[in-house]
Homo-oligomer: A and B are copies of this chain.
Amino acid sequence: MLTRLYFTYTGIRVRNLRRSLRFYTKVMGMKEILRGTMKHGGVFVHVKSPRSSQRLELNFYPAKTKFHETFRPGSELDHLAFWMKDVKRSYSELVAKGAGEAVEPFKEGRYELAFIKDPDGIWIELIGLSKNSNTEKWR
């Protein structure tokens, strides 16, 4: 029997900690809950949405520290998903507050979806129930 493992957070690499922290707190409405410096000089900040247990870690590796690398876009991280009541309204609000536009709101089955981009170009999915749907909220 394996020791029990709990998936606890996702760590994304950010190029500019202040810019990304501002985005996830001021634009996406998350709160900073933990911060620290790793032995090798990297910095981590945990953020979470109010009333959600899901954590996101922002990892920043200053130039000349062990894990610093030239930032390059890749395939591993497809997207981060955020649930909300009104996707159309949120999309407009988020773009007005500085989020990058990716895909305008559209319907797919019982869901309303849209995509924005964080300051490093990471895709963020906005998902909520379509207004005509009677289905229970999923999140």
Q: Which residues of A contact B (CB under 8 A)?
A: 2-13, 28-30, 38-39, 48-57, 59, 69-86, 89-90, 93-94, 97, 108, 120-122, 125-127, 139
- A85–B51 Cα distance when bound, in Å, is 26
Q: A2-B97, A4-B50, A10-B80 are in contact. List 7 more A-B contacts (CB 8 A).
A: A5-B49, A5-B83, A6-B139, A13-B75, A74-B74, A74-B75, A76-B77
Q: B residues within 8 A CB of A89?
A: 3
Shortest A109–chain B CB gap in Å is: 8
Name the residue on B nearest A51 (C-beta).
Answer: B6
Is B4 within 8 A of A85, CB to CB? yes
